[in-house]
Structure 1
Amino acid sequence: MQPAATATAPRAGDPGRAPRRDPAPPHAPAAPRDGTRLNKRLAALGLCSRREADEWIANGWVSVDGAVATMGQAVGPGARIEVLPAAQRAQGERVTILLHKPVGYVSGQPEDGHEAAVVLVNARTHWKDDRSPRRFSPAQLKGLAPAGRLDIDSTGLLVLTQDGRVARALIGEDSEVEKEYLVRVVWAPHGPKGPGVVEQDVQAVFPADRLARLRHGLSLDGQPLRPAGVDWLNPEQLRFVLTEGKKRQIRRMCEAVGLHVVGLKRVRIGRVALGQLPQGQWRYLLPGEAF
């Protein structure tokens, strides 16, 4: 990156010089002319999220080629980027929480009179068998956001995090982290209230070619779905393993092949399982535990 030009103040009455312009404030975003915006580069390196990168830059914790970085700065491929230890310390204080979400709570912002799942995160609902050395503090709720959705009428593992690295790993465009679900279904080729609904031994009446379509061959919102792992656990329950998370994806997949979902529970995200965590309670992601 070329060093910034130094402006020289004009002398009074000097008609040969252009009037001086006040420099832009240090945190004003500037459109990059060459290279990549610094917050995007830091996120691509897996160091943080773009929002965290902006916080680091605003705090003066990032330098580029030896100079303190500014908001909106662009960097070339050969730029030397350094992050002060203060940024890592701040990041180490961020929490990731695993919540067993009950039916009736939305994953994100409150809507239609339903509360957000984050209201369940408090000292009273902290699982007594949590092995984390952390202790709950209201400050841990600041910026705590869901890393992936779980429908209001679904239960199971919901990840809430302050850590942009976790969010990117789980819901970034290139994420391929597995999510496992237990899904109870009925055979409803004409809709859940139409004729021919089968509630018992659904496996016996469900066509094998439609099971194959659940595994690969369906599209939602005009986009083909990634291959999925779909198998029968018992005559009324399927096990789904997905590597993507479109809105109400499993319910819509089932509807496309004549099934109707009557119960859905997420039991695993990557290598982290719901385990014995009671419904409505939460625990911290443990040190060394990763998705």
Structure 2
Amino acid sequence: MAHHPDSVRINKAISDSGYCSRRQADTLIEEGIVTLNGITATHGDRVMPNDEVKISGKPIRENDTTVYIMLNKPVGITCTTDRRVKGNVVDFMKHEERIFHVGRLDKPSEGLLLMTNDGDIVNKILRAGNEHDKEYIVTVDRPITPDFIERMSNGIPILDTITKKCEVEQLSRFVFRIVLVQGLNRQIRRMCEYLGYEVERLKRVRIMNLELGTLPVGKWRDLTKEEVRELKNRVEDSQNTPQANRSEKTEGKRRRR
């Protein structure tokens, strides 16, 4: 029997909500305390996004506890959910929900970091390809030349590849703006190093439609409803599966018409 593409098995729905592991969910289903839309659930049940799953009468995730947060990450905080790492971002924020970061910013970098408990959007954003642009303001250790800007925009050989063409603009003697659509390990730092420059300050100011704006370092705020809506619109074409790439060509044709 073909399953609806948006449906997931009930044990996965429970584990995706962060309530417990799949195996623990199986045990709860066996105990008969899990309900799906008010009916006692069984192992084979499949859950649609708007279905209500309860355990002992309590919803596994209240609809309004999905959080989307913009953090202005300070230098020195590490993007990891591993609480054993000193200065990890989770302990830094002390948020009551179990949240994790979307993508990462190196420890010595600062700026916009998206934090959420919505696992679905994380995968979609990371797979959104060219739609997923990120803007940085970078300060380097010596004066920027037209040649530097041109070479940075046209691709630099790092990590056995050549970086994709990107938008680079000089802002002042030592400062430039760069928009990336890929996220190689320490990409901007490595690109600058290749050209003999050292990054002194690296700040991410935008991810897709999300602008850091005047949010102070170390502070965070919830995204507005409008920001969340726009973000979801931008990534809805990128399915949450690796085969998304295969259908991109047909998608592109449809969109261009």
TM-score (norm 2): 0.66
Does residue 240 in structure 1 map to residue 178 in structure 2? yes
Does residue 154 in structure 1 map to residue 101 in structure 2? no
Instruction: For residue 234 of structure 1, give the secondary structure of its aligned residue in structure 2.
Output: coil
- Aligned residues with identical type, % of pairs: 31
Residue of 67, 75, 78 corresponding to 1:106: 78
Q: Which residue of 2 is the match for residue 166 of structure 1?
A: 121
* Rounded Cα–Cα distance in structure 2 between residues aligned with 1:207 and 1:43: 53
Q: Post-superposition shift, 1:54? A: 9.5
Residue identity matched to 1:105: I
Q: Which residue of 2 is the match for residue 128 of structure 1?
A: none
Q: Which has the higher Rg, Structure 1 or Structure 2?
A: 1
Report the count of equivalent residues. Answer: 206
* Rounded Cα–Cα distance in structure 1 between residues aligned with 2:14 and 2:191: 33
Spell out the pairing of 1:18-167 with structure 2 (5 A cutoff): 41-42=5-6, 52=16, 70=44, 82-86=48-52, 90-109=62-81, 114-122=86-94, 138=96, 140=97, 142=98, 144-167=99-122
More helix by share: 2
Q: Which residue of 2 is the match for residue 176 of structure 1?
A: 131
TM-score (norm 1): 0.59
Q: Post-superposition shift, 1:116? A: 0.7
Q: Which residue of 1 is the match for residue 195 of structure 2?
A: 257
Spell out the pairing of 1:196-211 with structure 2 (5 A cutoff): 199=142, 202-203=143-144, 206=145, 208=147, 210-211=148-149
Contact 2:134 2:180 in 1 (8 A): yes
Q: Unmatched 5+ residue regions in structure 2?
A: 26-33, 54-59, 232-257
Contact 1:147 1:160 in 2 (8 A): yes
Q: Which residue of 2 is the match for residue 216 of structure 1?
A: 154
Q: Unmatched 5+ residue regions in structure 1?
A: 3-34, 74-80, 123-136, 187-198
Does residue 225 in structure 1 map to residue 197 in structure 2? no
Q: Post-superposition shift, 1:173? A: 6.1
